[in-house]
Chain A
Amino acid sequence: MTVRRVLASPYALVIAIALIVVVLPWFLPSNFYVRIATLVYINALAVLGLNLLMGFAGQVSLGHAAFFGLGAYAVAVGPTHLGIPSWIALIGGVLLSALIAFVVGRPILRLKGYYLAVATLGMGLLTAMMIANEVAWTGGPNGMPVPRLVVFDWRVTGSQMWYWVSGASLVLGAWVAVNLIESPTGRAFRAIHDSETAARVLGIDIARYKLAAFVISAMYGTLAGAYVALFDGFVTPDTSSFIRSIEFVVMAVLGGLGSILGSIVGAAILIILPQLLTVFHDYEHIVLGLIMIVFMIFLPAGLVPSLAALIRRRSA
């Protein structure tokens, strides 16, 4: 009985993620795989944030790479041009991003559905354009190098160390996400998703909670962007590109909207699959596209929720 109760707890998932992060390195044969795992964790962090917005609060964003890019350039521009220590630039970037999401979110979150999608798309394109055009600050289309992350005397460098930093951050991020979902705030998010009218009548200030979801998801995305830049040691405007925004959405939808585990699985699929498909050479993208179509046809709710429903039906 107690085992079942522990498994039913939403925190069981957080513990499972932590276990995977801790155990996985023993099964990774080389640094190349450690690098891939690190990229999965970092992207999963961004997707987790986007999923809070899209999967739980039901608000679409096609411009989330704007926040990802903002994080990446915060840790590039801050230390290089302003002489700020990179860990302060990282925190500053996340806070700045929250502020921008707050200011931009207020007007655009009044929009719904397609209109919100287009407005967030515009936000993403605008950010990408600014990054590409401010050559003096960002190096323009060529990008710029990112100094290593140094926290006091601790130099965060190498795939191994970044594996642990990103893994720990993902576990922490999943824990915070579960906390939120299991709180009045999370219930407000989900209520807005299902019926804005009912949510309003029950006293939920929907503008406030949509904005909260937007700001929180922006902070996740910014942190992930900063990590990727610090990990790679270099940034290009690609970090904030339209394609990047779409990738995040695809990861969330493929893994499962409204599923914490789905965010991670979605990120893993979209990062690992292209690596596996390199055997197809020129046809790589065609095969990737086909796989995605097949996934969505047979697992329409996303991988994790669809499989969970299947298992429940089998065992019932």
Chain B
Amino acid sequence: MSILAVEGLSIAFGGVTALDEVGFAVEPGDIFAVIGPNGAGKTTLFNIVSGLYVARQGRVTLSGEDVTGLAPHQLARRGLSRTFQNLQVFFRMTAVENVMVGRHLHENRNILAHFFTLPSVLAQNRATRRQAEDLLAMVGLADTADRPAAALPYGALKRLEIARALATEPKVLLLDEPAAGCNPVETEEIDAVIRKISAAGVAVVLVEHDMRLVMKISRRIHVLNYGRTLTEGDAATVRADPAVIAAYLGTKAGAEAERAHG
């Protein structure tokens, strides 16, 4: 059974159809990319799957459970987390505190215990911080733990969001343009991080414009154009598809993708 399945998803904004009957399925440990030109509906798709938007029609299932229309925090509880294209970092907190917030669901949330800082709360704070530090180390941000998030460069914030999303212990992780604004070295690091996440059995769904990265790491690629599915397949199939080349890759990007693969 697929860990995440999307069927016949449609949504319109003020009469303009942003997504039209989009569907796909993702297995545990998959690296699944959604690509397409700007305005194809990729982020809209993520916003529906993560519960920020409500679809006009269609179904989303997580581990076979129908989760259509559930709120984001309810989806997080069921093992879905995500990052954002336009950063949603807690800028007034330190890097490690950002990741600590991601542990929320795994902490005791009894507010009365928090009033009086019972010893259990202190022990939990220490454990949460340790786990957050481990995750920061995993994305290569170990030495930034106590710096304010606002002081970190863009590429670091992208990785901070990944660490924060991982802190929820997701089964499905949606990454919205994880490599945007990153230099080639940082992109390499993100590549390695994504592989590590998938190796741990987490299904990774990513929206990404860096075709070298997409072609290199994705097991399957789903191509959107004007809110509709153009095609879906592995890197070789998608790259060779004339419709995809015409709509998105173009001849230049196609060549680049070819190089990445070869």
Give the interface of A toward B (CB within 8 A): 176, 179-180, 182-188, 190-191, 193-195, 197-206, 212, 258
Contact = CB atoms under 8 A, between A and B. Distances in A.
B115 A187 contact: no
Given A179-B116, A179-B117, A200-B72, A185 B109 contact: yes
B104 A198 contact: no
A101 B42 CA distance: 41
A9 to B, nearest CB: 12
B111 A202 contact: no
Contacts of B218: none
Contacts, number: 101
Looking at chain A's contact residues, the main secondary structure is helix
A29 B121 CA distance: 43
A316 to B, nearest CB: 13
Contacts of A202: 73, 76, 81, 101-102, 104-105, 164-165, 167-168
Given A188-B101, A201-B76, A201-B81, A195 B88 contact: yes
Interface residues of B, number: 41
Contacts of B100: 187
B93 A190 contact: yes
B114 A185 contact: yes
Most buried by A among B50, B88, B128: B88
A254 to B, nearest CB: 19
Most buried by A among B50, B82, B107, B115: B115
A258 to B, nearest CB: 7
B108 interface: yes
Contacts of B124: 184
21 contacts: A179-B115, A184-B104, A184-B108, A184-B109, A184-B128, A185-B109, A185-B111, A185-B114, A186-B114, A188-B104, A190-B90, A190-B101, A193-B92, A197-B52, A198-B89, A200-B51, A200-B72, A201-B88, A203-B168, A204-B101, A204-B104
Contacts of B105: 202-203
